[in-house]
C-alpha cells in the first residue's frame, strides 16, 4: 500500500512527483523519497515520516526537465526509517516499488553470494540489485529489466530508471495498480499508482495490467508482456475531474466526503431506476459480456435490454449468495445479508475475505458471490475472487474504481459511483455500497417473485428518499463538534444495535478505532448480558443505534440494562423519542424511514462522532496512523 509516481518530460520532475505523491499520500505515509536525474546522475532525497518532511528537504531545490521517480511508503518489510525509504539506489539503478516480493529472502541470499551489499532491510532493494546485474549485455533499460521480472514472486508495481539510460523509464506490475498518463505524443509521461496524480496533466491514460511492461524513451511508450511480446494498449479517457480530488474548502477530505454522501447515494441509484415504471432495473451488469465493450459504454439498446434480462435470469436461478469483503466493506456486506434474506428469501453467507480465501469454503455451483471493495485492489478480496472464479462460480463486484483489478476480473459489475474517496476512513463507499446492495436485494426478490411490483416501487421510493434524510442529519453536524469534547475523555466505547443496525454499530466502532485510536467495540445489543455488560462503568461510553423498527423495544431494554450500570449513553433514534432521551446524555433524532434505509442515515452520526473526537484529539483524520487506503498486500 504505497504510492509511486514517475515523470518524464519538460517540467521539473520534482514538482510533478511531489504533487503526485501528495495526492497518493493516503496510500501510505511513513516515509517518502524522490530520485531525479541531474547532470547525468540520479540525485536521491528521502525523509522519514510524512511527505511534509521530504518537501522541507527539497525546499529551494529545482531540477531541469527530465526524469524522476518518487514514492510514499507504508512499511511492510523494514522499519519506517530513512534507510528503508524508496527510491532504492544500487550504483546507477534507482527503483520504487509498491507491493511485496514474497521470495525476497532467497533472492537476498543469492545476491549476497554475488557480492551485493544491502543498505536497507526492505524486500524492494533487491530489485535494484537484480537490474544492476542484468544491465550487463543489455542495449537498453527494458532489456535489462525484462530479464529479472520472472525471478520475482508476489505483488509488485515497480518503476526503474538508470544513469546508463538517462532518457528511459521501465514500469511493470503484478497486482497493485499502475496507470500511465501520456501527453504531447509521449514527450511527457506521468506514471502513478492512481489517476489523481495524473489528472492535472492529462485524462488520457493507459492501465497496465498484470504481467505487463511499459518502456518509456522520451519519444514513445511501448508495451510488452513479460515474454517480450509487443502489446497494443487501449487509451482510456478519465471522466473524473481534478476538482473532485481536492478538499473544496473542507478542513479534511473525510468531512468533505461525509457531506458528499447524499449525492453519492443518488449517483449510485439513478443509473438503475426505470423512471417510467418506477421500478429497479439493474443496467450494464455485464454477466457474460466483453468487459471493454461494457466499460466503454459501447452496448447497443438491444444489448442493454439483453443484459437486464440476463441479470434477472441469473438472480432467478440463485440458490445461495455469498458476500465477501474487508473492513468497512465487510460491514456493508453484513447489511446486505439482512436485505437479501428479508426481501428475497435467499440464504446469504457473509465472509471476511482474509478468512474466506483460506478456509476452503463449500460454494454450491448455483451460488453468486458478491465482492464489495472501494479500491478494487484489496489483496485479500482479489485473492478470494480469483479462488471463487477458479471454481466456476459466478461473481459480481461492487467497486468504486472502474478498471480496478477486482472490477475487471469479476463476471458482473456494479459501481458505488461515490467519486474519489481520499480519506482513509471509508464513508461514501460504505453508504453507496448499501444503496447498491439494496437495489440488488430488490432485484433478486423481484426475479424470485417474492415481491409485487407495488412493493418494489415502495421500496425504491424509500431508497430514493435516502439522500434527503441523509441531508437532514448532516444539518445537525454541529451537535457532534461539542459532543466530541465530552466524549473524548472516555477510555472506551461500546457500540450496540440489533438486526440491520448491528453492522452499523460495528462500522461505528471501526470509525472510532481507526480515527480516534480509542478502544471501541461493536456488539449485537442482545449479547450484552452474555458478558460485555461487565465492561460497563462510568468510564465507558455506550453508543446505541435504536431507530423505531421491529426490534426497537428489545433494544430499549438492552439500553436500560446498560444505564443501570453507569456508562454515558449516546443514542440515535427516530424522531423525538422521549424514552431514549430519558436514558441518554446525548440523543440524536433520525427522520422516519423504512428499515432498509435506516442504515444509510444512522451511520452518518457515527461517522461525524468519530471525526470530531479524532479532530479534537489532534489526530490526522485523513491519514490515520498505521493505516493505508488501499490494502494491496496480505
Contact in structure between 241 and 199 (CB atoms under 8 Å): yes
Least distance to ligand AGP from the beta carbon of 426, Å? 4
CB burial of 68-99 (b: ≥16 within 10 Å; e: otherwise) equals: bbbbbbbbbbbebeebbbbbbbbebbbbbbbb
User: Rounded to whole angstroms, how far apart are CA atoms 137 and 142?
Assistant: 12
Least distance to ligand AGP from the beta carbon of 317, Å? 28
Contact in structure between 388 and 587 (CB atoms under 8 Å): no
User: Rounded to whole angstroms, how far apart are CA atoms 524 and 205?
Assistant: 46
**Cβ distance to ligand AGP smaller for residue 375 or 438:** 375
H/E element, 95 = strand 93-101
CB burial of 509-545 (b: ≥16 within 10 Å; e: otherwise) equals: bbbbbbbbebebbbbbbbebeeebbebbeeebbbbbb
Contact in structure between 158 and 97 (CB atoms under 8 Å): yes
Least distance to ligand AGP from the beta carbon of 370, Å? 13
Active site (annotated) includes residue 489: no
Nearest to residue 17, comparing CAs of 31, 41, 36?
Answer: 36
Least distance to ligand AGP from the beta carbon of 506, Å? 11
Q: Does the N-terminal peptide bond of residue 87 adopt cis geometry, omega within 30 degrees of 0?
A: yes
Q: Is 580 helix (H, G, I), strand (E, B) or coil?
A: helix
Residue nearest ligand AGP, CB atom distance: 327
**Cβ distance to ligand AGP smaller for residue 405 or 584:** 405
What is the DSSP code string of 519-553? Answer: EEEEEEGGGGGGTGGGG-STTEEEEEEE-SSTTHH
Work out the number of other CB atoms within 10 angstroms of the CB of residue 617. 14
What is the DSSP code string of 365-380? Answer: TTEEEEEEESSS--HH
Contact in structure between 605 and 546 (CB atoms under 8 Å): no
**Cβ distance to ligand AGP smaller for residue 13 or 28:** 28
**Cβ distance to ligand AGP smaller for residue 141 or 245:** 245
Contacts of 15 (CB under 8 A, 6+ apart): none
Cell, residue 370 = 458478491
Least distance to ligand AGP from the beta carbon of 109, Å? 33
Contacts of 524 (CB under 8 A, 6+ apart): 496, 497, 498, 502, 505
Q: Cα separations (Å) of 61 from 14, 38, 550, 587?
A: 9, 11, 64, 54
| Residues of the shown chain interacting with ligand AGP in the complex, contacts defined by CB under 6 A | 326-329, 373-375, 378, 381, 424-426, 429, 514, 630-631
Active site (annotated) includes residue 2: yes
**Cβ distance to ligand AGP smaller for residue 496 or 603:** 603
Catalytic residue among 2, 14, 89, 173: 2
Least distance to ligand AGP from the beta carbon of 547, Å? 23
Phi and psi at residue 347, to the nearest 5°: -65, 140
User: Rounded to whole angstroms, how far apart are CA atoms 247 and 518?
Assistant: 26
Least distance to ligand AGP from the beta carbon of 329, Å? 4
User: Rounded to whole angstroms, how far apart are CA atoms 335 and 499?
Assistant: 9
Least distance to ligand AGP from the beta carbon of 321, Å? 18
Q: How many residues does the chain have?
A: 634
Residues in a beta bridge with 154: 101
What is the DSSP code string of 320-378? Answer: EEEEEE-HHHHHHHHHHHHHHHHHH---EEEEEHHHHTTS-----TTEEEEEEESSS--
**Cβ distance to ligand AGP smaller for residue 19 or 629:** 629
Catalytic residue among 14, 394, 428, 629: 629
User: Rounded to whole angstroms, how far apart are CA atoms 292 and 633?
Assistant: 27
Nearest to residue 601, comparing CAs of 496, 479, 465, 502?
Answer: 465
Least distance to ligand AGP from the beta carbon of 464, Å? 25
Q: Is 52 helix (H, G, I), strand (E, B) or coil?
A: helix
Work out the number of other CB atoms within 10 angstroms of the CB of residue 292. 12
**Cβ distance to ligand AGP smaller for residue 107 or 420:** 420
**Cβ distance to ligand AGP smaller for residue 123 or 407:** 407
CA dihedral of residues 318, 324, 328, 332 (deg, nearest 10): 10
Least distance to ligand AGP from the beta carbon of 85, Å? 24
**Cβ distance to ligand AGP smaller for residue 414 or 424:** 424
Contacts of 102 (CB under 8 A, 6+ apart): 153, 154, 155
Q: What is the DSSP letter of 233?
A: P
**Cβ distance to ligand AGP smaller for residue 95 or 418:** 418
Least distance to ligand AGP from the beta carbon of 453, Å? 34
**Cβ distance to ligand AGP smaller for residue 285 or 332:** 332
**Cβ distance to ligand AGP smaller for residue 316 or 625:** 625
Cell, residue 73 = 511508503
Least distance to ligand AGP from the beta carbon of 182, Å? 27
Residues serving a catalytic function are 2, 629
Amino acid at each position: 500500500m504505497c504510492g509511486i509516481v514517475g515523470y518524464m518530460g519538460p517540467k521539473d520532475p520534482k514538482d510533478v512527483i511531489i504533487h503526485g505523491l501528495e495526492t497518493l499520500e493516503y496510500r501510505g505515509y511513513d516515509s517518502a523519497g524522490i530520485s531525479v536525474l541531474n547532470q547525468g546522475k540520479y540525485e536521491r532525497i528521502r525523509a522519514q515520516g510524512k511527505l511534509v518532511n521530504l518537501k522541507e528537504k527539497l525546499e529551494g531545490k529545482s531540477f531541469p526537465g527530465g526524469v524522476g521517480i518518487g514514492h510514499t511508503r507504508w512499511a511492510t518489510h523494514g522499519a519506517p526509517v530513512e534507510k528503508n525509504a524508496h527510491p532504492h539506489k544500487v550504483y546507477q539503478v534507482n527503483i520504487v516499488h509498491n507491493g511485496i516480493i514474497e521470495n525476497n529472502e532467497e533472492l537476498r541470499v543469492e545476491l549476497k553470494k554475488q557480492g551485493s551489499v544491502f543498505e536497507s532491510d526492505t524486500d524492494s532493494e533487491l530489485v535494484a540489485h537484480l537490474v544492476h546485474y542484468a544491465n550487463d549485455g543489455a542495449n537498453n533499460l527494458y532489456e535489462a529489466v525484462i530479464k529479472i521480472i520472472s525471478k520475482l514472486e508476489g505483488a509488485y508495481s515497480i518503476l526503474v530508471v538508470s544513469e546508463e539510460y538517462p532518457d528511459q523509464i521501465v514500469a511493470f506490475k503484478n497486482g497493485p495498480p499502475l496507470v500511465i498518463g501520456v501527453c504531447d505524443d509521449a514527450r511527457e509521461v506521468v506514471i502513478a499508482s492512481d489517476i489523481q496524480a495524473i489528472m492535472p496533466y492529462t485524462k488520457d491514460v493507459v492501465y497496465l495490467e498484470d504481467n505487463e511492461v511499459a518502456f518509456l524513451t522520451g519519444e514513445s511508450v511501448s508495451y510488452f508482456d513479460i515474454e517480450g511480446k509487443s502489446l497494443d494498449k487501449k487509451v482510456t479517457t478519465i471522466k473524473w475531474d481534478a476538482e473532485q480530488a481536492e478538499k473544496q474548502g473542507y478542513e479534511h477530505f473525510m468531512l468533505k466526503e461525509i457531506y458528499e454522501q447524499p449525492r453519492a447515494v443518488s449517483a449510485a441509484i439513478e443509473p438503475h431506476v426505470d423512471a417510467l415504471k418506477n421500478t429497479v432495473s439493474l443496467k450494464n451488469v455485464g454477466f457474460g459480456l466483453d468487459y471493454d465493450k461494457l466499460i466503454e459504454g459501447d452496448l447497443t439498446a438491444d444489448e442493454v435490454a439483453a443484459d437486464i434480462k440476463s441479470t434477472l435470469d441469473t438472480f432467478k436461478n440463485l440458490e445461495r449468495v455469498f458476500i465477501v469483503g474487508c473492513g468497512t466493506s465487510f460491514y456493508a456486506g453484513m447489511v446486505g445479508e439482512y436485505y437479501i434474506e428479508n426481501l428475497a428469501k435467499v440464504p446469504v453467507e457473509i465472509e471476511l475475505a482474509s478468512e474466506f480465501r483460506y478456509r476452503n469454503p463449500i460454494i454450491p455451483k448455483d451460488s453468486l458471490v458478491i465482492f464489495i471493495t472501494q479500491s478494487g485492489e484489496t489483496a485479500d478480496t482479489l485473492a478470494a475472487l480469483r479462488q471463487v472464479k477458479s471454481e466456476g462460480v459466478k461473481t459480481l463486484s461492487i467497486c468504486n474504481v472502474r478498471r480496478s483489478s477486482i472490477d475487471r476480473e469479476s463476471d458482473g459489475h456494479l459501481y458505488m459511483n461515490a467519486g474519489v474517496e481520499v480519506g482513509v476512513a471509508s464513508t461514501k463507499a460504505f453508504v453507496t455500497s448499501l444503496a447498491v446492495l439494496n437495489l440488488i436485494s430488490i432485484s433478486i426478490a423481484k426475479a424470485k417473485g417474492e415481491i409485487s411490483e407495488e412493493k418494489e416501487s415502495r421500496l425504491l421510493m424509500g431508497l430514493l428518499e435516502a439522500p434527503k434524510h441523509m441531508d437532514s442529519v448532516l444539518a445537525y453536524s454541529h451537535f457532534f463538534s461539542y459532543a466530541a469534547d465530552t466524549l473524548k475523555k472516555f477510555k472506551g466505547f461500546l457500540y450496540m444495535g440489533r438486526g440491520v443496525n448491528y453492522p452499523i454499530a460495528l462500522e461505528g466502532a471501526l470509525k472510532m478505532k481507526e480515527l480516534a485510536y480509542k478502544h471501541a467495540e461493536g456488539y449485537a445489543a442482545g449479547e450484552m448480558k452474555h458478558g460485555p455488560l461487565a465492561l460497563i462503568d462510568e468510564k465507558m461510553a455506550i453508543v446505541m443505534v435504536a431507530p423505531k423498527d421491529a426490534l426497537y423495544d428489545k433494544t430499549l431494554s438492552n439500553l436500560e440494562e446498560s444505564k443501570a450500570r453507569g456508562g454515558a449513553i449516546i443514542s440515535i433514534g427516530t424522531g423525538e423519542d422521549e424514552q431514549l432521551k430519558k436514558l441518554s446524555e446525548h440523543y440524536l433524532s433520525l427522520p422516519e424511514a423504512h428499515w432498509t434505509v435506516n442504515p444509510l442515515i444512522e451511520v452518518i452520526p457515527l461517522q461525524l462522532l468519530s471525526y470530531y473526537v479524532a479532530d479534537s484529539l489532534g489526530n490526522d483524520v485523513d491519514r490515520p496512523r498505521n493505516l493505508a487506503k488501499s490494502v494491496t498486500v496480505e
